[in-house]
Structure formats: C-alpha cells, structure tokens
A and B are shown apart, each in its own frame.
Chain A
Amino acid sequence: MDLTAGTAGAGRVDEEFTALPLRELAAVALQRAADLGAGHADFRAERIMRRRISLSDGQLETRYDTDEAGLAVRVVVDGTWGFASDVDLTAAAAARAAAEAVDVARVAAALTAERIELASEPAHGDVTWVSDYDIDPFSVPVAEQIALLGGWSAGLLAHDRVDHVDASLLQVKECKFYSDGATTATQQRIRVHPELTAVAVQAGGRFETMRTLAPPAGRGYEYLTGTGWDFPAEFAEIPALLEAKLAAPTVRAGRYDLVIHPSNLFLTMHESVGHATELDRALGYEAAYAGTSFATPDKLGSLRYGSPVMHVTGDRTARHGLATIGYDDEGVAAQSWDLISGGVLTGYQLDRRTARLTGLGRSNGCAFADSPGHMPIQRMANVSLRPAEGGPSIAELIAGVQRGIYVVGDKSWSIDMQRYNFQFTGQRFFRISHGRLAGQLRDVAYQATTTDFWNSMEAVGGPQTYLLGGAFNCGKGQPGQAAPVSHGCPAVLMRGIRILNTVEEAS
C-alpha cells in the first residue's frame, strides 16, 4: 500500500466511523440472534458517502452529496435465511434488527424447501483494511473540484467543432464493518469516476459524441491530478477525433477482423465472461431477473469457452480494482483464482452458500451488499483477461489484419439472459486496411455469440496493451443492487466478427 505522509487520511479508516460503537452493536445483535435461536448470525454496519458533480457546457448542473448509514443483521434459523436492517446505529436498533431478522426467517420457513448451509471460513480475528489511495476526495474542497471540471469543459468548448460538453465526477467512500464473532473486519475504500463527453451537432441535424476513455478507478483524488491517467493528453485528442467521426463514412455491414482496445473489451468481458461465471446465476438463483448462464456446473473443466490463448482470472485483490477489498461481506478473505485456463472453463465466482451447496470447497470471497439495507449476494470479482508475456503491441496486432476494424472505448451494450448473444458499440472505430489504420468509420456495432466470439480470438496483446477498465453500476439481484467492478484486459485480435450498421438497423 502506498502511504503518503501527511495526505488526507490515506491508509486509515475514518475516525468518524471507527468512533461509532461498532463492536458493541455487533455484540448486541449477535447475542440477540443467538438467544432467539439463530444458528448463524452476522452483523454489518456501514457508512457510504457519495458525491456527484456534473457540469453542462461549463455550467453547474448537479451537485449532490449523500451520506448513507445503517446496520444489518443476517441470520440462518433452522436452515432458513432472515435479514433485517435499520437506519439507526444504536444498541436498541441492533437488537430490534436481530429480532426482526429471526422473525422474517420464521415467516419464510413455510415457503422454503432448501436448507441454507455455509462453507466454513478460517477465523481472521479483528482486522482492518484500507484501499490504495493517496487523497480522500471528500477532503478536497468542492469548489476546487468544480473548478477543475469547469476548466476541462472550457478547454474543450473552446474548440470550433465542439458544441456541447458534459462533465461529471462521481466519488464514493465506503466504510464497512463486519462481524460474525470469528472475524471482525473494519474496512474502507475509495473510488472516483471522472468523465467528459464532447458533442458536435451538424447543420443538417446529425450529431456525434466523443467520450473520454479514462476508466473509473479505485483511487483517490490524485487520479484527477496526474496519477494513473493523463487527462490533459486525452482532452487534447478529443476535438480532432470528434471531427473525424462526423466526417467518417458509414460502415458496410458484414464480417470483419477486429482489433479491440481494452477500453472496449473490458465491458464485453464483463457481460460475456464475468456474469456467465457467477455460480448463483449458473445454478438458477437469478433465473427470473438477471438470468442464468450457458456455462453450467456440469461443464466445469470441459467447456471450450474460447481459444487456447484465453486465460481469465477472478480476483478481489488487484491494485485499484473496483471490486478489490480485504474481506467480503461474509468475512471471507480476498483471493485470486482461475476462471478460464487455456480457453477451458475452470472456475466460478462463489459465496459461502453456493460454495457449500456445490461442494466446491471454500468460498472465493464474492459476497457483497451495496448498502446496509440489502442482503449480500454473490457479486462480481475483478474478472480479467491475462496478457501474453512478450506479446504483441496494438500496432503489431493491427499489422496482422488485411480488412478489419479497430474498436476503441465502450458505449452501448446488451446481452441475453443466458449470456449467449451480445451486441456492443464503441466510442470510435477505425478502418484497418492492409495492416494499417485508414480513418474512422461510423454507425458500427458488433454482434456475436459468446463462445463463437472468444474462440475467434487469435491473439492477445502483451502487458504494454493492458488496461484496468470498469464500472460503478453493475446491476444484479432483487431488490436491485449496484456493484462496482473492474476488468483488466490487453488488446486482442478477433477473426471474422459480424458488424452491423446501426443506421440500417433503425430503418
């Protein structure tokens, strides 16, 4: 961990949070649950601070600070879950939530046919974990943050071809306390997501946009001021890219070889590999909502998911990863493991319940609840595609294509409920002709079936092409929960992918 002396609280959990009577509340709740007959109980207390700032054409549009706190008690009573939460961080509320959770379990028992059992996890004692950042963004004056976004907006608006600029900055600080008696974890993580979009409107009414590629990151405010991303360099390229996109010819639908930049591929990874290797989905627990998975447990160890150059890992340990944490919301220590090895399905993302149910052993630590008001469910780890050691650069990948398209930046995405059929667009698409880039194309979408797509992957780029992308808003579960997650990818070369023309699709 980078600890910089004198910076705003980095390396420590906020004293405002640790000063709460967290251990006392946990003791009250766990004792009450035990007294009422719960066979298992765990307690969480959380405080989540969020700040959203958005500017439209340099004018302040939104500035919204929220501060959410509360406690939650989850129990297993005679093999049935019960969950309750409360907004008050008091001993009375902790006892009340424990009793209510037991009541809910007893009501639910009449409709429950499956017995809940949890995979065991070593006791980790009383532990503290803080994510890797230098500057807590909530310690930075908001006036400074607005001024930074305003300066960025003004710089882009000064260009003739840019008609509008949207600028936004999301900042989150998450303080979590967990205790099940054997493990007590106090944790804090920070994440930020700055984003700018430039818009150009032509006289005839056609408009195009060009958005920054800077991914959301598990970093502090230093991310906006030069650590981990060069924003001024990215802004400098946007007007010309936007102008070229407006002037670009429309794509001819058909099959093309694609070189895909990690700023686009991360989202395809997320949808077609990340969600498909969630064990709760594969077992049917999301069947009515998020969906299931074609990658069912009977195919573990045999499913040819992709070509032999495909190696995918799940982890909750990657530095600056949005799903990175010390201990999950069931007290399981963060880990890293294989999901796809040499193109073959070899693992799943687990929580304690599904790990036990399927006999897969210890949970790999993917339980997460997005608020104290929600019950933890299995959520996505950082699911990442491994680069090839000594592998090709982007230019070398492009050089291997006669007729193709180079895809950069994510935009539209959609995939079916078993994770077969997907369609993605991007920020910009470049024609590849005889191994070289030959200007932008517009109106491009790529569409494929997951295993066809990954089996068409001929090459993965080297570590120099690797980028950790991600999103704050991965949705799953009912009630709906939003989870942050990162995906690292190298650039890749795919052969013979179906390209659609989105204007033709609309006509």
Chain B
Amino acid sequence: MTRQGPQAAVERALQAARCDDCVVIADETSSANLRWAGNTLTTNGVSRTRQLTVIAIGRRGVATAAGVVSRAGVRDDQIADVVRAAEQAAADSIPADDALPLVAPDGAAAQAAGWDEPAASTGIGVFTPFAAALGDAFGAAAAAGRKLYGFAEHSLTCTFLGTSSGLRLRHDQPGGKVEINAKSADLARSAWAGAGTRDFSDIDVAGLAARLSLQLDWAARRVDLPAGHYETLLPPAAVADLMIYLYWSAGARDAMDGRSVFSKPGGGSRIGERLASCALTLRSDPAAPGLECAPFVIAHASGRDSSVFDNGLALAPTDWISAGQLAALTQTRRTAQRSGLPVTPEIGNLILAAPGATASLDDMVARTERGLLLTCLWYIREVDPQSLLLTGLTRDGVYLVEEGRVTAAVNNFRFNESPVAMLGRITEVGATAAALPREWSDFFTRAAMPPVRVDGFNMSSVSQAS
C-alpha cells in the first residue's frame, strides 16, 4: 500500500471517525547525531519516524470522554484501525476532567502557510561543514594534549494537526544542539560549552574551542574552597537550567490546589507577588527570533498542565514574571475557567531579561571583588516543592574571581538553592543571549538568558568530582 503523506493521513483519519469530535496529529520526524569522546567519534546514527495520534471524543449528554491512541509507522490501510482503537478507548473511559468544545477556527492560530507542501527531512548531511570543523578541533586538541568529548544532534519534526471543528494547522520545528566538553589529558581539568541551533550554519566550532581552551588555562592554578554561601556569577547556561525548572513548576493547577511554591497560603496563587529583587521579565514568545516554536497548542495527551481539547489554540507572547512580579502560570482553558485567570498554555521557549541590561559575563567578572564564576549545573533535582528547593552540582569549571579577574579553578560543589528564592537575591543582570541549558537540553533547547550575580548562593558541600 502506498502512502500519500501526512496531510492525506489526517484527512483519512478524520473521514474514518464516527465519534462526535476528532483531533488528528501526524508527526514526521527525522534526526541525525554524532557523538565523540577522547578526540574520536564514538557513536552516530540517523533515524526517521512518523507517528499518527488520534484523539476520539465521545459526548454523552453532559459527559465527554476522550480516547487517545498514538501509533508509529501507520500505513494508509491501517489508519481506520487507529481511529477505531481511539474510539474504543473513549468508549472505555470515564469522563475527561478537561472536556471542552474543540477550538473553533476563529480561536485558532492563523492558517499556517504550506499545509500542502511535502514534509521535509534532515539527515547526516546537515553536519558536513560542522564535521570538518570538528575534525580540525580534534586535531588541535590532540596537539595541545587535550581531549574533546561531546554530542551534536539535529532534528526536524513536521506536525500536521486537523480537527473535526475544521482546523488544519502545520508546524515545522527544526531543532539542534552541540555540546563540547574539553578535558586535560589527566582529566583533572574540564570545561564545557554548548549552543542551540536550528540548522548548524551558525555553529562556530573554533570559537567554542577557543573559549574551552581559555577555561582550561584558567584551571592551571587550583584552590580548594569549603562549602558555604558565596557571591556567585551564573552564566546564561546555568541560569537557563534553573529558570526552566521554575517554568515547569509553574502549573496553575498545582498552585490553585495549594501544593506548589506558587500557591498562596489560604488559597489561590501568588500572581501579583514580587519575586525578583530587580525588574526581571521571564517570558515566552513563539515568534522570538532564533527561538521560534509552535504558535499553537500541540497536545498529544492531556496532563496536569495540558489538554487535548486545546489543540490548535493560538499561543500569544506571555510574561510569566513581569517587572519582577509573578504574572501568569501555565494552564489550559479548563484550569483557566476554574482559576478565573487568562488562558496561558505552556510555550516552547523561555527568555529571561532585565530592561537595559548590557553587561557581558566578562564585564561582570571585572566588577567582582571576590566571588565564584560557574560554567554550568548538573543533576538538578527537586528536594522540596514547598520552597522549590533544588539540589545539583556545579560542573566543568568553577572559578575563583578576585579583584576583577579569574585567579584559579575551584573544586566542584553540591548546591541547594530555590530558583524562586534566588530571584530575590539577584544583584546584577547582564545582557540576554541565546543559551543552551546543560541539564535539560534533551527536552528544552530554546532559551535566552542573561548572566546573573547572586548573593549568597548555597554551596552545601564539596564534590570531589573533576
């Protein structure tokens, strides 16, 4: 049986549906990756997959049930089977807590151009110029007695969303990242740099390698410091990991249920409360240059902060924290009804900025009398949801700054910090720029963050890891 493409699969599934309402999502994904260790490539691969998700909705009087079946590699002659399975799932289910009418065309994102264009794909060829530069970097590192480790990945997902309410929306999401970790021959010194990218044309391997060399040189002198509260400069990658966790913890449902850091004692949420000591804004915008993401809701399954009934809903730029005050929490149309707050679904990028901030990280180092400069954070986990206390490690370079310059490398630390409380102890904010989160880049690569200076960052204990 031939296959006529994802657009035809969406139409065929909608036509096959006998349920009251139906949402169909066809995803075509291709990806390629390279991985290396010790100046040699280790693993690699390319993959292609396609996934058909059918959300069958049965309305029984006031009760509405939804069944979701998502299947990979569906042939045209199997589409009706997937629809039947979803309908059966809806019939088996109890009413959905988030049930609402489907999004109508006038409430959806504007019709995406190019619905009928074939789905594009990526492949190993996307790395051609990058791989040559990487090969040069391997050679240079080997000559300098250093070792490079890392990973490069590129993917393209073309999503086609159709609903029985008449929506036909398409979103093509390219995504990519490169992470390079440089180590001294004895592995005692380590440095890391990473970048997100849409197409690898903007990846400057030589530039990243030069920064790594500088950091390894900083580590020529080593000082041991004890646990304690330190004035700390966090570069954008470290800020990104902390702010992304805060964002993931900003669900309206949990806040209204009294079980998150954003709950107000006695009921309701902390919206309107000042969180940051300065006029910081934490926001998402589907059209943010270089960080473009889906301009409409794509929900394969319902969850605490997502709803399949919201599929196709237009996403507007949203401030989560505005001028230092909590301004919005992530939510569905259903939780918005309950909380009486605007509908602000999660958006696939995150930007932290302070108005007028222009300082670079180097500028901030130059203004530091004594403090720590971090590279990135690792193994970040929630310790206490009440305060959003997180724990984790510093990784790949902690440096001592004295009288405006880096004077030595320091041992790693385990930190215990809440990103919410930390916002209140930020004393300086630099210029916002694209940043790859070290910890969460498997799930979230589109971030722009400033470097920040934090008073009294809690380094709870020393880690022997190097």
Contacts and interface: CB of A to CB of B under 8 A. Distances in A.
Nearest to A111: B41
A146 B94 contact: yes
Interface string A460-504: 000000000000000100111000000000000000001010110
Given A204-B265, A425-B383, A502-B389, A113 B39 contact: yes
Contact of B416 (A54, A449, A500): A500
Given A66-B71, A69-B73, A373-B49, A81 B43 contact: yes
B364 interface: no
Residue in A147, A206, A418 with the greatest tally of chain B CB atoms within 10 Å: A418
Contacts of B278: none
Given A60-B97, A417-B465, A164 B259 contact: yes
Q: What secondary structure prevails in chain B residues at the interface with A? A: strand
Interface residues of B, number: 94
Contact of A416 (B43, B89, B302, B463): B463
A288 B465 contact: no
Given A59-B97, A418-B465, A423-B414, A503 B187 contact: no
Nearest to B177: A478
A143 interface: yes
A201 B258 contact: yes
Residue in A114, A201, A412, A416 with the greatest tally of chain B CB atoms within 10 Å: A416
Q: What secondary structure prevails in chain A residues at the interface with B? A: mixed
Given A65-B89, A85-B45, A412 B381 contact: yes
Given A112-B40, A206-B386, A164 B264 contact: no
B392 A414 contact: yes
Interface in B267-324: 300-304
Contacts of B34: 108, 111
Interface stretch (A1-9, A99-107, A329-337, A359-367): A99-107
Nearest to B67: A63
B427 interface: no
A207 B258 contact: yes
A235 interface: no
Interface string B22-48: 000000000101111111111111111
A416 B383 CA distance: 16
Given A284-B38, A412-B382, A478-B33, A70 B49 contact: yes
Interface string A81-111: 1111111110000000000100111011011
Given A143-B93, A505-B460, A65 B85 contact: yes
Contact of B49 (A87, A104, A413, A420): A87
Nearest to B3: A88
A61 interface: yes
A291 to B, nearest CB: 7
B66 A63 contact: yes
B89 to A, nearest CB: 6
Contacts of A110: 131, 135
A226 interface: no
A85 B464 contact: no
B70 interface: yes
Nearest to A479: B33
A203 B192 CA distance: 46
B335 to A, nearest CB: 11
A89 B44 CA distance: 22
Residue in A89, A207, A374, A449 with the greatest tally of chain B CB atoms within 10 Å: A207
B349 interface: no
B289 to A, nearest CB: 27
A70 B74 CA distance: 11
A270 to B, nearest CB: 13
Interface string A276-289: 00000000110111
A104 B125 CA distance: 10
B8 interface: no
A199 interface: yes
Contacts of B97: 56, 59-61
A94 B69 CA distance: 26
Contact of A373 (B47, B304, B387, B460): B47
A122 interface: no
A63 B303 contact: no
Interface string B448-466: 0000000000101111111
Interface string B227-261: 00000000000000000000000000100011100
Contacts of B387: 503, 506
A52 B44 contact: no
B171 interface: no
A445 B94 contact: no
A170 interface: no
B210 interface: no
Contacts, number: 271
B391 interface: yes
Contact size class for A? 35 or more
Interface string B327-357: 0000000000000000000000000000000
A163 B257 CA distance: 9
Given A87-B48, A414-B414, A70 B73 contact: yes
B72 A288 contact: no
A70 B151 CA distance: 24
Nearest to B395: A417
Contacts of B304: 56, 61
Nearest to B418: A506
B138 interface: yes
A294 interface: yes
B456 to A, nearest CB: 10
B414 A447 contact: yes
B379 A417 contact: yes
Interface string A206-236: 1101000000000000000000000000000
A146 B461 CA distance: 45
A108 B41 CA distance: 7
Contacts of A425: 383-384
B100 interface: no
A502 B94 contact: no
Contacts of A417: 378-379, 393, 395, 465
A443 B387 CA distance: 11
A349 interface: no
Given A142-B89, A207-B258, A375 B43 contact: yes
Contact of B463 (A81, A111, A420, A480): A420
A414 B465 CA distance: 13
A383 to B, nearest CB: 19
Interface in A31-90: 52, 54, 56, 59-70, 80-89
A141 interface: yes
B50 interface: yes
A292 B72 contact: no
Nearest to A83: B45
A447 B71 CA distance: 43
A205 B261 CA distance: 10
B163 interface: no
B391 A412 contact: yes
A102 to B, nearest CB: 12
Interface of B: 31, 33-50, 66-73, 85, 89, 92-98, 124, 131, 134-135, 138, 149-151, 153, 179-181, 183, 187, 192, 253, 257-259, 263-266, 300-304, 378-387, 389, 391-393, 395, 412, 414, 416-418, 421, 442, 458, 460-466
- A-B residue pairs, 10 tightest by C-beta: A205-B265, A288-B149, A288-B181, A64-B301, A83-B45, A113-B40, A59-B97, A421-B463, A201-B258, A87-B73
Given A64-B70, A207-B263, A412-B391, 6 more contacts: A61-B98, A81-B42, A112-B40, A288-B180, A478-B33, A505-B389
8 contacts: A66-B70, A81-B43, A111-B40, A199-B257, A207-B259, A414-B381, A417-B395, A423-B391
Interface of A: 52, 54, 56, 59-70, 80-89, 100, 103-105, 107-108, 110-114, 141-143, 146-147, 150, 163-164, 199, 201, 203-207, 209, 284-285, 287-289, 291-292, 294, 373-375, 377, 412-421, 423, 425, 443, 445, 447, 449, 475, 478-480, 498, 500, 502-503, 505-507
